Amino acid sequence: MMTTDGALRAGAGLVELFVPKELYNLMAATAPSEVMVKPVRSYRELPEEKIDIWAVGPGLGQERAGELIKFIEQVKQPMVLDADALNVLAGKGDILKHSPGPRLLTSASRRDEAFV
């Protein structure tokens, strides 16, 4: 939710928040009215979306790490990677070298410095 607030404050024209299907009702009820909340069953659905820039990581957890890695590897659009996306990628820097689009990593914690 903080990511959507940041995007809105930065002047993004259309902000879409993709959430796991089981969290849709909660997120749709609490999201700012300008945000389009969309339920997804799997990250595999997302590469087909027409998105200019992705923000990936905050609140994702580690449960779907394999799907998240494939998503980062496949998507051509630019991506900002933060929080759990950095945790999932820790020690897997080669994924970023072979990603088809630009990737911006936010500042990492001391634990992740070797990765960045």
Please, what is the Cα angle at 63 between 5 and 2, to 5 degrees?
10
Q: Are residues 24 and 78 in the same domain?
A: no
Of 4-8, 57-61, 68-72, 85-89, the one with minimum mean pLDDT is 57-61
Q: Are residues 64 and 100 in the same domain?
A: yes
How would residue 107 be classed by pLDDT, with cut points 50, 70 and 90? confident
Q: Who wins on pLDDT, 116 or 90? A: 90
User: pLDDT at residue 109 above 60?
Assistant: no
Q: How many domains does the structure of the chain reveal?
A: 2
Query: What average pLDDT does the segment 65-83 reach?
Result: 95
- Output the pTM of the full model: 0.84
Question: In the numeric block, which tokens belong to residue 87?
Answer: 């945790």
Q: What is the pLDDT of residue 116?
A: 46
What range does the domain containing 67 cover?
46-110
Contact 52, 28 (CB under 8 A): no
- C-alpha–C-alpha distance, residues 15 and 112, integer Å: 29
Q: Is residue 37 part of a domain?
A: yes
Q: Which amino acid is at 36?
A: M
Q: Is residue 4 part of a domain?
A: yes
User: pLDDT at residue 31 above 80?
Assistant: yes
Q: Are residues 54 and 21 in the same domain?
A: no
